[in-house]
Amino acid sequence: MEGSIERTAKTVWEGCLSYIKDNINEQSYKTWFLPIQPLKLQDNVLSIQVPSKFFYEWLEEHYIRLLKSAITRELGAQAKLVYSIIMENNYGNNTPSTIKLPSNQRGKIENPKLNLPVEIGGAGIRNPFIIPGLRKVNVESQLNPNYSFDNYVEGDCNRLARSAGFAVAGKPGGTSFNPLLIYGGVGLGKSHLAHAIGIEVKDRYPEKTVLYVTADKFQAQFIDSVRNNTKNDFVHFYQMIDVLIIDDVHSFAGKEKTQDVFFEVFNHLHQNGKQIVLTSDRAPVDLQGVEQRLLSRFKWGLSADLQFPDLETRIAIIHKKLYNDGVDMPEEVIEYLAYSINTNIRDIEGAIISLLAQSSLNRKKITLDLARQMINKFVKNTTREISIDYIQKVVCDYFDMQVDMLKSKTRKREIVQARQLAMYFAKQLTKSSLASIGAQCGNKDHATVLHAVRTVNNLTETDKRFRLYVDDLRKKLTLS
């Protein structure tokens, strides 16, 4: 490092990022390093800010060597890295917490020795999950074995939530993301991920008591306990759980008594180092009708959202579903289903089932035409619009090239031509602006898109072979 050049926190961190980006895959880089903000550089100590203690723990566990190498390259052997963490989970203390790295002093939440086998359903505490007439000694976890991590397809839409869930399963109650609240729209995989966490915990720690229960079921049991004068048993039962998973916690809205009893259970579990996993259809800040004291506790850990999956992830989900069911389906049909349904994953699964039923009952081969007929009935046309990424994939498949090549800066004639065709059809078949089309086709500006459209129109009129390209692609892209 030249002494004449003034280094700032920003320039040093940019140098670190350049090195880090070359040594990990792109998705990990985007997930774990782009959110970091450089704060201060003083005496070879670089201060950076991360979004949560979850980030700190994950970076220390998985990327500490990479960070050491990066900061040493930039500042020398005496360099140090300091994390500044804005935390909301310190029981009302909103003061930023600063932790120096490299360090082996990471705070741990030790579980008290309260994980001894507990007899539930025998003499003593009543198990609300016991089947009348049968004696149950251990708690049934109520987990669906089909909803495992192995069956959960990872993508940009769910990477943070999945990573957090897997970390929780590896160390339940021993991370800073307690509770873990997973939120997102209908059919995006919240329940699947919640079950997967429970299954993974049971596989790793068979001695732990894991329980999955919906918020509605929890409320119904509470009402029964009040009616039967067994509220204390109800509370004590839930306080014995090591990993409690409450699905659809937004259903507690407006139910004050249920919130009160859950608040009591929550406090006991959290204070004793037990893990709490919650799912909701909206973020904590948007949960109307839930008491503020409960909302503040939801923010103690990590809130991770699930977005609707992009085209590549939807294709991967369909492949996984068909593989698990032992079903073969033409690739063009899979891609058509993936881009046609833009509501949620459940609808994608429903479309697959409908298509298989159509094929089986009518003894028809699964083809693109059959898929189009089914989709026109299954999905309203007004909710479906062809996407730019699908157009790019169809064009690249047609010319047998990778989508990354189309988005690259290369000026090779065949790639430029494919890029122009993708822009042309994006202009024709989507409602996207010229700027948006250009941005998704290699960060081009709107003038480049206009030039591409004019070029395609001119070549279509003057070049017979090029006209064939346009006609073939239009047939592949246009819905019948």
| Per-residue pLDDT reduced to its tens digit, 101-139 | 443 333 333 333 222 233 333 334 455 654 333 333 457
Instruction: Kindly state whether residues 153 and 257 are assigned to the same domain.
Output: yes
pTM of the model: 0.55
Question: Residue 212, class by beta-carbon neighbours within 10 Å (0-12 exposed, 13-18 middle, 19+ buried)?
Answer: buried
**Residue 96 DSSP one-character state:** P
Do both 192 and 322 map to the same domain? no
pLDDT at 135 (0 to 100): 36
Q: Let me know if residue 369 belongs to a domain.
A: yes
Q: Do 39 and 20 sit in the same domain of this protein?
A: yes
User: Is the same domain home to 378 and 398?
Assistant: no
Is there a domain that residue 289 lies in? yes
Residues of the chain with pLDDT under 70: 1-6, 53-54, 86-138, 342-343, 376-385, 478-480
Same structural domain, 84 and 212? no
229 in the same domain as 343 = no
* The pLDDT value given to residue 86: 57
- Domain coverage including residue 90: 9-101
216 in the same domain as 278: yes
The per-residue pLDDT for range 236-247, each reduced to its tens digit, is 888 888 999 999
Query: For 35, what's the count of Cα atoms within 13 Å in the CB-facing half-sphere?
Result: 15
Whether 84 and 47 have beta carbons less than 8 Å apart is answered as yes
Number of structural domains in the chain? 4
Considering the domain boundaries, does residue 295 fall inside one?
yes
Do 242 and 201 fall within a single domain? yes
pLDDT at position 54, please? 65
Residue 112: predicted pLDDT: 30
Bridge partners (DSSP) listed for residue 182: 279, 304
Residues 41 and 177 placed together within one structural domain of the fold: no
User: Are residues 301 and 164 part of one domain?
Assistant: yes
Q: What is the CATH number of the domain that holds 261?
A: 3.40.50.300
Residue 222 near residue 264 (C-beta atoms within 8 A)? no
Domain final residue, candidates 343, 362, 383: 383
**Does 404 lie in the same domain as 360?**
no
189 backbone φψ class: left, alpha, beta (φ>0; ψ -120 to 50): left
Verify that 301 and 315 share a domain, yes or no: no
CATH of the domain at 459: 1.10.1750.10
Cβ(317)–Cβ(309) below 8 Å: yes
